[in-house]
Structure 1
Amino acid sequence: MLLNSQLVNDHITFETAAQHAFMQVPIVLPNQNAGEVRQMMAGRQYEIASHVVVCGEKGLFLGVIRIEDLFAAQCETLMGEIMDRKAPVVAPGVDQEVAAWKAVQSKESALSVVDQNGLFVGIIPPHRLLAVLLAEHEEDLSRLGGFTRSTEEARSTSEEPVQRRFQHRVPWLLVGLGGALLAADFVGWFEVQLQQNVMLAFFIPSIVYLADAVGTQTETVVVRGLSVGVEMKRMVMRELLAGLAIGLALAAVAGPLVWWRWGIPSIALCVGLSVFAACSTATLAAMMLPCLLNTLSLDPAFGSGPLATVVQDLLSILSYFCIATALLR
């Protein structure tokens, strides 16, 4: 665990490939032989010596030689003959995670940084690459769990005492309780319609449930998308269309089933339209609320669920009774 913490802390202040690169490395010319280079390196200390960098006279990067290949070469072997001319390189401004994954995909333990003019900038050593991969891995895992802040905050939230868990969660649930009472008022507004047709009450739980289920799916997708850096504009249209399609499909099933089971076409039409409206508005609410909380620097993992549920329930009940009022006069 100590190694884990040290590696993560090393990476915190770095973001680009150049910031991870070391310059104090063995640099040789292509016409030098292995014997000369080994003698040159003896007694000298480098920041990283796992690779020998081969450059032209003006610092133009030509390739690298693994230290094991250098020591295995005959004394008269020239560096230009054994260097890897296709060694993977990255530009100085490349994101650290991209650089680390390039090294992994190339099966290299270190990565050369070369500028746009082909000049050698430095080498990212193995421990830096490991630090980046470890930190990014932990960050991605915490984000996929619904946390949009740092790994340390995610871990702290998971390990916090009961009192803080209570303080973090209860305010949002109190909002939910207020929403539940408001939903009761909404139902009370349509007392006359319920008295005239008590069957309307039969379908309230079903419509509310479907809206919550559709909203939960959308909310999960959006929270995870925001957590891993997906822009909201890339998700909006797809989720809206998906919500409309899901609502239409559920309405097409619910309407005929209600008609077949209860034999009242007006009720069946009311339920079908209400399911479509509830699912569509639930998608919109579940998509917008996590984005709003994220913009306000509030963790969507705590707030978006209870708050979205309240909004979805209220919209579902309101749309259901408005449709019923219009159709069942």
Structure 2
Amino acid sequence: MPQIEQMQKANMEKAIEKKRRPTKSRKRNHRQGETAGTHLTASVPRAYSNETAAAVQTRLREHRFDHAELICITDPEDRLLGCVVLEDLIALPAETPMGDVLKALPMVRVDEDQEKLASLALHHRLTAVPVVDHGGHFLGVVPPLALMHILRHEHVEDLHRLAGIKRETHQAREAMESAPLRRARDRLPWLMLGLAGSALATQVVAQFEAQLQDRIAIAFFIPGLVYIADAIGTQTEAIAVRGLSLSHANLRSLLGGEMRTGLLIGLTLAAVTLPIIWLIFGDFYLALAVAVALFSAGCVATTIGLFLPWLLGELGTDPAYGSGPLATILQDVMSLLIYFAAVNLFLF
């Protein structure tokens, strides 16, 4: 019996050492703290299949464990064979071999994502989940308190994703909870940039003063064109800020899809607008200029609305602060340039 205990003690020390020295595949996930290995405890009761219930019961009384609800049965190479629940162990006859009563429970690898771990526990109604390495060697269990922590974390993370927050980070909480002076300090630089952009947009319009004086009807469509471009861009920004945290597709794929969406939106708006303006103003070329501008502005707005949140996120800046003001002014200036270029092309 002392020899068995010495072997189990050595195996436990080996398991703890394996946990401390994660493999390369674990290291990538371990930085995020979202793997099974992050939450496991190695201080749990263990037994071999040929040990009797009486021997295991004695060891349970003589040692203190972090979690004792599952008695994990291993072979001499420390590979997990199954488990026995504590309440079943207490009711066993003294001479019953543990191998006769062990039950195979679902187990997870040490580098498994914690979300899958929590789903497994819920599906199989487990209060603790055994953890093994890639060779099937037993390392420990994820106890109930850790499972509750994982479930809470994943629940909050999903709620934040719905709100467009990638992770429950200090930056995201600070944006919502910091003092008004701090929030104003974070937001004002972007709004000042937008103010400078507004001056640029005014300058763009001023450059076409002669065309506006020659045909005043050109000015009628500027507010509507700018609004539509902003509305398309705002839609895309809201979808992008939320979607970039959920999608695993690369930027090229997302950008290509959004550009095609912009083409369809712009084409539809242009097709609706052209006959209406032509009918009301009796000027086909004016209607064509507005339709072309709407079509082009739709493509540009969707591209800017997706690319800017991604770029700001990559630069470590909260997209919620900068994407709106910066995207709006870029869309406004680009829409005006496109519109006046179309006007010059078709009317002058």
Tell me the TM-score normalised to structure 2 length: 0.83
Uncovered stretches (5+) of structure 1, i.e. residues with no partner: 1-10
Taking the aligned partners of 2:95 and 2:269, their CA distance within structure 1 comes to 77
* Aligned mate of 2:313, from 265, 289, 294: 294
Measure how far apart 1:72 and its partner are: 4.6
Taking the aligned partners of 2:221 and 2:87, their CA distance within structure 1 comes to 74
Secondary structure at the aligned position of 2:317 is classed as coil
Query: Contact between 2:73 and 2:80, CA under 8 Å: does it hold in 1?
Result: yes
Measure how far apart 1:148 and its partner are: 4.4
Query: Contact between 2:164 and 2:243, CA under 8 Å: does it hold in 1?
Result: no
Cα deviation per residue 1:14-70 (whole Å; 9 max; x = unaligned)?
343223222221112234444443333224211111211111222121112232333
Taking the aligned partners of 1:105 and 1:196, their CA distance within structure 2 comes to 73
Residue range with higher mean Cα deviation, 192-201 or 128-137: 128-137
* Aligned mate of 2:285, from 266, 272, 275: 266
> CA 1:326 to 1:125, structure 2 compared with 1: closer, same or farther past 3 Å?
same
Residue range with higher mean Cα deviation, 187-196 or 256-265: 256-265
The equivalent of 1:6 in structure 2 is: none
Taking the aligned partners of 2:31 and 2:91, their CA distance within structure 1 comes to 38
The equivalent of 2:227 in structure 1 is: 209
> CA 1:48 to 1:250, structure 2 compared with 1: closer, same or farther past 3 Å?
same
Aligned residues: 318
Taking the aligned partners of 1:281 and 1:74, their CA distance within structure 2 comes to 76
Give the ranges of 4+ consecutive aligned residues of structure 1 lying more than 4 Å apart after TM superposition. Answer: 72-78
Taking the aligned partners of 1:164 and 1:111, their CA distance within structure 2 comes to 44
Residue range with higher mean Cα deviation, 225-234 or 19-28: 225-234
1:218 partnered with 2:236: yes
State the AA in 1 paired with 2:98: M
Taking the aligned partners of 2:107 and 2:253, their CA distance within structure 1 comes to 31
> Any residues of structure 2 matched to 1:118-197 within 5 Å, and which?
118-148=136-166, 150-197=168-215
Secondary structure at the aligned position of 2:244 is classed as helix
The equivalent of 1:237 in structure 2 is: 256
* Aligned mate of 1:312, from 320, 323, 331: 331
> CA 1:98 to 1:234, structure 2 compared with 1: closer, same or farther past 3 Å?
farther
Taking the aligned partners of 1:65 and 1:169, their CA distance within structure 2 comes to 58
> CA 1:27 to 1:122, structure 2 compared with 1: closer, same or farther past 3 Å?
same
Query: Contact between 1:147 and 1:299, CA under 8 Å: does it hold in 2?
Result: no
Measure how far apart 1:121 and its partner are: 1.4
RCO higher in structure (CA 8 A, sep ≥6): 1
Residue range with higher mean Cα deviation, 232-241 or 194-203: 232-241
Query: Contact between 2:293 and 2:339, CA under 8 Å: does it hold in 1?
Result: yes
Residue range with higher mean Cα deviation, 290-299 or 30-39: 30-39
Measure how far apart 1:181 and its partner are: 1.6
Taking the aligned partners of 1:251 and 1:21, their CA distance within structure 2 comes to 59
State the AA in 1 paired with 2:169: T
Taking the aligned partners of 1:12 and 1:44, their CA distance within structure 2 comes to 33
Identity between Structure 1 and Structure 2 (%): 41
The equivalent of 1:252 in structure 2 is: 271
Taking the aligned partners of 1:97 and 1:12, their CA distance within structure 2 comes to 16
Taking the aligned partners of 1:13 and 1:190, their CA distance within structure 2 comes to 54
State the AA in 2 paired with 1:219: E
Tell me the TM-score normalised to structure 1 length: 0.88
Measure how far apart 1:269 and its partner are: 1.3
> CA 1:72 to 1:279, structure 2 compared with 1: closer, same or farther past 3 Å?
farther
Cα deviation per residue 1:251-309 (whole Å; 9 max; x = unaligned)?
11121222233332212211111111001001111122112211221110100001000
Measure how far apart 1:235 and its partner are: 1.7
The equivalent of 1:8 in structure 2 is: none
Taking the aligned partners of 2:123 and 2:278, their CA distance within structure 1 comes to 59
Measure how far apart 1:101 and its partner are: 3.1
Residue range with higher mean Cα deviation, 286-295 or 148-157: 148-157
Taking the aligned partners of 1:259 and 1:66, their CA distance within structure 2 comes to 80
Uncovered stretches (5+) of structure 2, i.e. residues with no partner: 1-29
* Aligned mate of 2:47, from 14, 28, 42: 28
Query: Contact between 2:171 and 2:318, CA under 8 Å: does it hold in 1?
Result: no
